[in-house]
Amino acid sequence: MIKRLLAVDGVMAVVLFRDNGDFLEGYGMIGEDQMRSLGGFAHDYKRLVQSSADQLSMFTQVSAWTPPQGWMVRAQEYTVCSFGNLVCLAQNDETDLTEVMGELKELAHY
């Protein structure tokens, strides 16, 4: 099911990981070790985003900040996009990030 994200222009890899960060499955044009690393990075970053959102919610007394739904980290050539326990690596010059995040959101609900 998650393989369909590879059909989006510029998406190089997609990884599904467990809540504890364990690698479940991954597909794409990078090696399995890199996919495992991508999943581990996404798990750790997801926890950081969640803790920041929890603190913001606590200090502002506004509950709309949490839980965060998705995030992205953009570098010069690539962007890492994540939603739920799915993460993908996309090339900046070939990807519509709005489309990628929409697909990730839809797939994360299966």
Q: Which residue has the higher pLDDT, 40 or 69?
A: 40
pTM of the predicted model over 0.85: yes
Residue 57: per-residue pLDDT: 87
**What φ, ψ does residue 21 adopt, rounded to 5°?**
95, -5
Model pLDDT for residues 51-98, shown as the tens digit of each residue: 998 898 889 988 777 777 899 999 999 999 999 999 999 999 999 999
11 by Cβ neighbours in 10 Å (0-12 / 13-18 / 19+) ranks as buried
